[in-house]
Amino acid sequence: MTQPMWAPWRLQYILSKKGPECIFCDEPKEDRDRDNLILYRSGKCFVIMNLYPYNNGHLMVVPYRHVFSITELNDEELLDVSKMVQRSVNCMKEAFRPEGYNVGFNLGRVAGAGIEEHLHYHIIPRWVGDTHFMAILSEVRVIPEHVKSTYDKLYPLFNRG
């Protein structure tokens, strides 16, 4: 039997006013990686933490090029994105020891894409019991640490020599 993963707090993001700009295009141009939660930059993509996470450590791998679908990525971009997903899983494994992961794209609004016009890959660490009664009954999520603390834990793992 399939069980839904409830995330009512994401409604804040869904209902928020969004401008015509693309955060995935604009934020990498800024010199404010910690403020923008950018953990790592590679040649064709970057790793950014989700400001409205489903779970502690929820990351996204985003190509620099503004594309809508995985079918629009060229071979170099596809390889780089795949390597960054692998690196992200390895860093989270070391930092948090999750028991599993949800990894994938939401292609199109009907598939759950919050920013559907710029492709991004989600990596969500999972633990037994992380979808407990609090989120369902009280619309409260239990994220065990502040997003900046999580950033400070992951940043050195992504950026070590």
Indicate whether this model's pTM tops 0.85. Answer: no
DSSP 63: E
Token code pair at residue 128: 């037994």
Cα gap 65→97, rounded to integer Å: 32
Cα gap 89→100, rounded to integer Å: 10
Q: Are 96 and 154 in contact (CB under 8 A)?
A: no
Query: What pLDDT shows up at residue 38?
Result: 98
DSSP 74: -
Q: Are 37 and 151 in contact (CB under 8 A)?
A: yes
Q: Residues of the chain whose pLDDT is less than 70?
A: 1-20, 111-113, 131-145
Centroid of chain to Cα 4: 19
pLDDT tens digits, one per residue of 83-120: 999 999 999 999 999 999 999 988 777 766 677 789 99
CATH superfamily membership of 22-158:
HIT-like (3.30.428.10)
Query: What pLDDT shows up at residue 29?
Result: 96
User: Smallest Cα–Cα separation from 105: which of 57, 62, 72?
Assistant: 62
Query: What pLDDT shows up at residue 138?
Result: 43
Q: Are 124 and 55 in contact (CB under 8 A)?
A: yes
The secondary element (H helix, E strand) that includes residue 127 is none
Cα gap 83→19, rounded to integer Å: 31
Q: Are 79 and 112 in contact (CB under 8 A)?
A: no
Strands 121-126, 100-105: pairing is: antiparallel
So which residues are the catalytic ones? 120
Q: Are 77 and 44 in contact (CB under 8 A)?
A: yes
